[in-house]
């Protein structure tokens, strides 16, 4: 274990920190852990939104969070890059470790954390600037040299499967793109700062089926290089793209495991009722 880290960075990786070491709420997996959450509780004022969450997520997979509205899945997602720090009267207890570093340690560099743990939101949120400047924004504020920026922008747009559609109009406003293109641009913007983990909060809920298919295909391609967590209300989407699924209800983690096991043979009756549409 790394004690009292002064910053969050990739040097905290521990090659001996494996999934099989942790039996509680651990999806069966033989690779190393990317994220370990333990004894996590969260309150918004007097309202308890997360209740004693224990969860371990492996590297280089897609992990889906499912559950009814208000169950805590998006709240948990936001704890992984400390977005809840921005919420008034939010109190958090417990630990969230990434590569065995506690990100809630008082010495954590939150800017560096959010560089390593990118987030794509429910609705596309491109900046009111050009396509090029949207993708270049992150590298610029992190001090990347000017001559490196064009190569980074091209690489990120290619990774986001958008380059061929926009390479001849990089200086046009990002807001001129379609909704699906805007969401892929936001993914490219996240990829441009070279994260290790990407959080998706219902990234396709505002998109048409064709755009949704492109985003899903993109996420499947990206998992070879990144750990991906996606919050979704779409059960079909969870089964199509995710390797593992966690089901939440009323702020509690009810069940987690390989996606096919969760949907074909859930162990908890509440999980079965939810995925078959009998409540939620």
In whole angstroms, give the CA distance from residue 196 to residue 35. 11
pTM of the shown model: 0.87
Tens place of pLDDT per residue across the chain (280 aa): 333 333 444 333 333 333 333 334 444 445 577 899 999 999 999 999 999 999 999 999 999 999 999 999 999 999 999 999 989 999 999 999 998 899 999 899 999 999 999 999 999 999 999 999 999 999 999 999 999 999 999 999 999 999 999 999 999 999 999 999 999 999 999 999 999 999 999 999 989 999 999 999 999 999 999 999 999 999 999 999 999 999 999 999 999 999 999 999 999 999 999 999 877 5
Q: Which CATH superfamily is domain 29-275 in?
A: P-loop containing nucleotide triphosphate hydrolases (3.40.50.300)
In whole angstroms, give the CA distance from residue 234 to residue 194. 28
- Sketch the domain layout of the chain as residue ranges: 29-275
Tell which phi-psi region holds residue 94, choosing left (phi > 0), alpha (psi between -120 and 50) or beta.
Answer: left
End-to-end CA distance of the chain: 40
- Which of 108, 96, 66 shows the shortest CA–CA distance to 200? 66
Strand partners, 41: 93
């Amino acid at each position: 274990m790394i004690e009292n880290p002064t910053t969050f960075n990739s040097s905290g990786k521990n090659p001996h920190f494996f999934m099989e070491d942790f039996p509680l709420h651990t999806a069966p997996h033989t690779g190393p852990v990317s994220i370990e959450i333990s004894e996590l509780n969260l309150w918004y004022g007097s309202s308890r939104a997360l209740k004693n969450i224990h969860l371990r997520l492996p590297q280089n997979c897609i992990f889906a969070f499912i559950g009814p509205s208000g169950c805590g899945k998006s709240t948990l997602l936001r704890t992984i890059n400390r977005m809840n720090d921005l919420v008034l009267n939010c109190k958090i207890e417990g630990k969230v470790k990434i590569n065995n570093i506690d990100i809630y340690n008082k010495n954590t560099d939150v800017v560096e954390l959010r560089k390593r743990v990118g987030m794509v939101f429910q609705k596309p949120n491109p900046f009111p600037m050009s396509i090029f400047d949207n993708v270049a924004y992150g590298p610029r504020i992190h001090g990347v040299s000017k001559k490196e920026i064009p190569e980074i922008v091209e690489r990120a747009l290619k990774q986001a499967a958008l380059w061929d559609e926009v390479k001849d109009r990089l200086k046009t406003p990002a807001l001129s793109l379609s909704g699906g293109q805007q969401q892929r641009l936001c993914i490219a913007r996240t990829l441009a700062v070279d994260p290790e983990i990407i959080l998706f909060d219902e990234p396709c809920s505002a998109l048409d089926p064709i755009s949704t298919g492109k985003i899903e295909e993109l996420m499947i391609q990206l998992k070879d290089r990144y750990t991906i967590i996606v919050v979704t209300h779409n059960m079909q989407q969870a089964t199509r793209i995710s390797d593992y699924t966690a089901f939440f209800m009323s702020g509690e983690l009810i069940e987690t495991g390989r996606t096919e096991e969760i949907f074909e043979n859930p162990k908890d009756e509440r999980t079965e009722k939810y995925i078959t549409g009998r409540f939620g």
